[in-house]
Chains A and B, each alone.
Chain A
Amino acid sequence: MAELTYRSAVALGIAQEMRRDPNLVMLGEDIAAAGGVFKTTVGLLDEFGPTRIRDTPISEQAILGAAMGAAMTGVPVIAEIMFSDFIAVCFDLIANEMAKARYMTGGQTGVPVVVRTANGGGSRFGAQHSQSVENWVMMIPGLKVVAPSNPADVVGLMAAAIRDPDPVVFFEHKSLLAMKGDVPEGELVDQLGVARVVREGTDCTIVALALMVSRAEEAADRLAEEGISAEVIDLRTLVPLDTRTILESVSKTSRLFTVEENPRLCGWGAEIASIVVDEVFWDLDGPVVRITTPHIPLPAAEALEDMAIPSVESIVRTVTERLG
């Protein structure tokens, strides 16, 4: 067991898989010589060389197109899109091309690409560099969606994403990059589509993702002091979605809260709320409640951004009020 940062876990996960598969390559802006603007790819150029770790122009469509074309012709690719907000400038490649290639061709082609991207708020970067956009890709049939909350999951889910033969969008949370956590020694390979109950409880279920997981856990600690036993689930992947873990938990606790960093409309919590209400409605003792960022562009100022994104306090307050 070694203690690693989330940031260095990214490089470790990639390196583990590049050592295993000599065909695997990676491309992106400033990923090679500079080691990535978030320093998540430090050391990879030295170990794997410039043929496998390549810097690109600021051309997000060209990056993802190159990834897709190579992947379709026998070379699996990891592509970095520096900020997840930039997915908007190459969404055609993600939503219309990678996601649909296999279906449209009647199964003739596949796109084994992992699109890595830095997601989420807390860095005071303002509305165009802070968004949580996992719902942008979750809604497209044909994409798998991963968002780890801790260093060990970064390594294991990175390996699972890379070994998956379908296109995967892998969200690395900017506000977790400095987070430290234990990572087991040796090869680490996790599984997509498996959520984790990170804290057991009996009074309510709190479902969270990425940065929101540690906030939900801290909120659960505080709720315990008030006599409320909250179960916390880390979703880890949105597609495939581990509905079994969620439904089992809600059937046990009878109440569901989602904690979403995305703005209100069409966040992943709405889909989970819909599934829960549809399938275990009679197990519920009260409303399903979504705790989200309000439906606004994210502000830059520290004070405003902190007000916008769900916090430990806002989770505790909402759960207390709504359970009461």
Chain B
Amino acid sequence: MTDTDRAQYDYALREPRLPAPENRDNDRIDISIEQRLEIYETQQLLRQFEKRAYDLFLQNLVKGTSHLSLGMEAVATGFGQAMRHDDYSFATYRGHAHTLARGAEPGPVLAELLGRENGILKGKGGSMHLTSVEHGMMGSYAIIGAHLTIANGAAWSAQIRGSGQVTVCFFGDGTTNIGAFHEALNFAAVWDLPVVFVCENNLYMEYTPIDLITAVPNPAADRASAYGLESIIVDGNDADAVFEVASRLIERARSGGGPALVEAQTYREQGHSRADPGKYRPPAEIEAWKARDPIPMYHERLLRLGVPEGDLSTIQQDVARRVDEATEFAKAGAEPGLEHLMTDVWADGGSAWRN
């Protein structure tokens, strides 16, 4: 390979793809201060939780792999805030934020990352399969694509039962190039299912820029018309903008208006997984997106809207205490014992395959 060829494949040398500028008009979106403080608190929780999870990796307490959403918290938060308590969430292996945003307790979630018996999945699922059925969080799915079709099933069930529940299904930009994405969207459209598909476009399919391997510039939004759906792009780093579009689409689905597809443009501040330092990204791009980090931006908005700095500090400190408590809870958990190995294969609790 020549140097010219090599330069072409050193993605860090490409033109940086910069975020859209902050839209301060979003200060005027009709959301109460109380709700905005909840949105702030949730974003703080997701951020501080994942920073703690990262620290615990470095201490070798979290084994295996793990995929963080640092920088992407506004998407999970905005949707979580807009959902009814009995609505359903489906997420990918990058699902810590989506699980916490539905109200799952951080202690058992962190314990799961540590592989402890008091983990939310008893240590049997791990970081990539977080689930909390009691919170409507119907699972994190680690092979991309399939869970869009499963989300359709939950929406179909709600349609059959007439429950008014809506399903929200999160996935990354890379998922838009797998067959199940297209099967699921067509299926949802022809069955008019109450489901909202949310593409978190963080610009990279694992290690490769999404624009290099996708036929259209906006991997989700530009495909919407193929399924008779509106093309919707939202600033995924602005929780209020996300909340506004989420509320509209969820309520439309709830009232029989059928499925929707949203592309939330955002950026993961770290690599794909714990093994990836993310060096394939132009430094100027990383800097530009960090300057649009959703949490400081939201903090500034609340100050502009008259919330005292002290109130925000109190929230931050409360969250920090919760994350400390979660850490203690997780560390105190026992390693799962042999009695858990052979259970939960079948509905009878066991795993027998012969008599």
Contacts and interface: CB of A to CB of B under 8 A. Distances in A.
Interface of A: 23, 25, 51, 54, 56-57, 59, 61-62, 64-75, 77, 92-93, 96-97, 101-110, 141-142, 164-166, 193, 239-244, 275
A104 B129 contact: yes
Contacts of B151: 65, 69
A73 B157 contact: yes
B345 A103 contact: yes
A92 B153 contact: no
Contacts of B148: 65
A61 B157 contact: no
Given A64-B149, A75-B161, A92-B146, A69 B352 contact: no
Given A65-B148, A65-B180, A69-B151, A166 B157 contact: no
A151 B248 CA distance: 52
Nearest to A75: B157
15 contacts: A54-B191, A62-B183, A64-B149, A65-B148, A66-B153, A72-B150, A72-B154, A72-B157, A73-B154, A105-B124, A105-B139, A106-B121, A166-B347, A240-B354, A243-B354
A65 B121 contact: no
Given A61-B146, A65-B146, A66-B153, A105 B121 contact: yes
A243 B352 CA distance: 12
A193 to B, nearest CB: 6
Given A61-B149, A97-B141, A102 B354 contact: no
B249 interface: no
Instruction: Give chain B's interface residue range (CB within 8 Å of chain A).
Output: 35 or more
A70 B157 contact: yes
Interface string B340-355: 0001111101011111
Contacts of B246: none
Given A104-B124, A104-B129, A142-B345, A70 B138 contact: no
A62 B139 contact: no
B184 to A, nearest CB: 6
Interface string B146-183: 11111111111110110000010000000000011001
Nearest to A275: B354
B338 interface: no
Query: Which of A70, A72, A96 has the most chain B CB atoms closer than 10 A to its own CB?
Result: A70
Q: Is the interface of A mostly helix, strand, loop or mixed?
A: mixed
Given A106-B122, A243-B354, A70 B156 contact: yes
B57 interface: no
Contacts of A244: 355
B68 interface: no
Query: Which of B143, B186, B353 has the most chain A CB atoms closer than 10 A to its own CB?
Result: B353
Interface in B109-129: 119-125, 129
B146 A241 contact: no
Nearest to B141: A97
Nearest to B117: A106
A74 B161 contact: yes
B205 to A, nearest CB: 18
Nearest to B124: A106
B129 A105 contact: yes
Nearest to A96: B143
B133 interface: yes
Query: Which of B122, B155, B160, B351 has the most chain A CB atoms closer than 10 A to its own CB?
Result: B160
